[in-house]
Structure 1
Amino acid sequence: MLAREERHRRRIEEDRLRPPSPPPIVHYSEHECSQLGEKIKDDSKFPEAVRVLLTWVERGEVNRRNANNFYSMIQSSNSHIRRLMNEKAAHEKEMEEAKEKFKNALAAILVQFEQIVSVFHAASKQKAWDHFSKAQRKNLDMWRKQAEEIRNIHNEELMGIRREEEMEMSDDDMEDAPESKDSDDSGPLAQVEALREENDSLRCQLDAYRNEVELLKQEQSKAHPPHSEEDATRQQQLSFLQQALQGMQKQLLKIRDELKQREMELEKSTEDKQQLESQIQSLKDRIQAFPASHTLQLERPEWEDRGSDENTSHANESAASAVVSCSQEKESVPDKGPPSPVKSEREALLVGIISTFLHVHPFGASIEYICSYLQRLDTKISTTEVETLLGRLPYTFKQELTGVGASLEKRWKFCGFEGIKTA
């Protein structure tokens, strides 16, 4: 009997502590729909309003008569995305400022740790160390080790933050690198195709902006006279969309002009190629004609043969000079100079990739950072190979020391713009 009463009392206590169940969601009606539309536009009531809208849609409340009302509520929900993105951007900005503030404070703390460790090192020298007692020396040595350990922990933390920032920058560079490589390797035809695709994409975006502007205009004309804040918000959205529309139109016209220019350059290069091929063919025909004319002149007298030989040699010389001049126009062969520090095409590729990488790192990068970037492209690349190659090119790359104390670091920089004047 007592156990039954205890269970009953416990069940009552659990029911009392259980949170109340949410109120049931009402069914769709014109009145509830108008109220829900106002709640969706209110930031404080937006989560509850979206939950009701989701329940209505899942219940199957949408039909042909009220489809426009549901479309308006869904469109209002979509407009809430812009406010959420602005709020997210503001929080990200605050987070970046807090990170920068923390990094600066950590750097200042690390400088003071360096000064404290320097004091311990100065006290450990013989001219000062001999004047301390044995107990004092023991305490000084223990304090020095503790200070160095804490200094190293803070230094590793600061270096980890810097490495994360550099890795984020390198990831952005690797995303941009394939695009730049493709643009360098592609010919005029590929560039024209890329411009056409960009033109189509901009046209689609332009149509989307136009549709959104028309929807805002229709909604503003059909709705009741809004409050001042809502009116200002809609006017601001409308002006923003109109400015974006104008910018897209200008960009579209610019892309079209560039597309026409590329097509004209492509046609011109095709005509030049055909003209050069016809010139080369005519020169080949002239060269083949010289031996035939030489055999026809064998039966002439000796004094005529001398003259004909001289004329033939002059003709051969002129034809050869024409062929040489034509070949020089097509492909010039450089004179042999001093041996190049770049010994293979692989090393030339490495120099190009490293130059591009260091060009976007104006403050330089360590050899480990450079090799980690290169090993993403080829895992066989070693640190010794890269450092030896950089050392053979003093007019292109130079090594500098940065930092103080324990944060001292060797960094490689690209100096080709200055080295071209002295090389």
Structure 2
Amino acid sequence: MTRREVFYLAGCFLVMIRVFLKEIKNVQLEDPGSQRDDDEMDVSDDEDFMRKRQRHDISIEETYHLKDENDSLRCQLEAYKNEVEVLKLDYKKDMEDKDKQFKVLQQTLQGMQQQLLEAKKRQCEEEARVKDLQSKLSGEKPPRKHDRKILTDKEIINLDDSENEQCDSVSVSECLSEAATSTTSQRLNECDAKLVGIISTFLNVHPFGAGLDYIWSYVSKIEPNIRPSDIESLMIRFPSVFKQELVGIGANIERKWIFNAFCSAPNGKS
């Protein structure tokens, strides 16, 4: 039974109660008048007396009958009121439960949307990083060799003019190249050896390898001025110590460097 039907039945019962109460009131008002008419009538008329008496008895019976119906209707009305209150409470509880479920679902949906956006952002960053690494590996030349040669040439010219004077029969470029190699080899080897040691220590505790950015974040704490390209070119120069591997499939592909110094190189014997 719906709420509308309950309210409709309750209204019908109220109308019926009002009608019955009005009839009872009319009967009670007619009763004294009938008694006065009976007193004024001739007592010798037996037929009229019996008719009045029967009418009086019927009025009393109808009165009691209407009272009983009124009481019954009152009880039914109270029962319907209680049922309406119960339905209201149940409806209110159902609405509260649905509101709670809706809020939980809404929060869950918002969380999933946020996770989806973050995952998409990370995927775009990884794809951009992979493309950058691929472009570096395919087309980038070893960096700063020409710059280093120019710097060392200037240093040699400023430091040792007498050595340049002895190279009359040899071209100037050959003299500068030999002097640069002899003067800067020790400095480059010391720097490279330090970086190789730092990177080897880091990769030794990462047996499954690490990405270039991860390695650079560690090395930059010790050498703040170093760049990722410097680290990459250094590891490429020492393939017997560092090995690069591709991990993942498709958009999730990732290049990792592994410490390879403990692996024995093939000797070429059959």
* TM-score, normalised relative to structure 2: 0.34
RCO higher in 1 or 2 (8 Å CA, sep ≥ 6)?
2
Larger radius of gyration: 2
